[in-house]
Structure 1
Amino acid sequence: MAVKTGMRAAFERPARDVRGLAVAFFLLVSTGGHGQRVMSEQVKAGEVLFWERCAACHESGLRNAPLIGNRKMWASRIAKGEAVLLEHAIHGFNRMPPRGGHPDLGDEDLHNIVRYMIFVAEDL
């Protein structure tokens, strides 16, 4: 069997290639163009730090910490703005100690963690 190349081969591609494109187009249209969001490098850095430093409280609710990914718990907090959440992370808020009890975390580290927590809550 000879292998076809060039323009002729391009026009004779199997129908499954076209079906794949049709399925991708349908998914894009059916979600209103809202597929899963892509994490920025800052959010990815925040994810790593979150699971190393913040998960103990924000996964269990220790000290009434809002649970990671709980849209209901995060909605009013996110509505206050990222800057307010960062200030709370830096200086402490309610029962959360300053810098989440990790004085070695810099402001940019905390900002990335806040970005990650917002990302998760909004991506549900």
Structure 2
Amino acid sequence: MAKIMLVDDAAFMRMMIKNALSASGYTDFVEAQDGAEAVKKYEEEKPDMVIMDITMPNMDGLQALKKIREIDPNARVVMCTAMGQESMVVDAIQSGAKDFVVKPFDAKRIVQTVGDILGK
């Protein structure tokens, strides 16, 4: 089963994503609460994909995305963004993000996006 890293400074957002994915059979998760921790854990854990918030303290999601892509040019990263952050989404896609989901998100959309990226 795929290992998925969830990166968000809000623990309840990580829990919501984990619950949605767990209900669809995903069981292997790694969590990080900011971009700096995400980069470190990406190197240690080598997850199959990352779902990452854009706006976080210490290192934002865009900076973390760029660092993760330096470590692994094939990294599969999906960015989470709040409404009204369209310019950040464009930046994320240009920096190598595979897709994005808008918060508040629909659980089905998260599951579908993960399935599409992991080829399930």
TM-score tier (shorter): under 0.3
Q: Identify the structure with bigger relative contact order (alpha carbons < 8 Å, sequence gap 6+).
A: 1
User: TM-score if structure 2 supplies the norm length?
Assistant: 0.26
Query: Higher helix proportion, which one?
Result: 1
User: TM-score if structure 1 supplies the norm length?
Assistant: 0.25
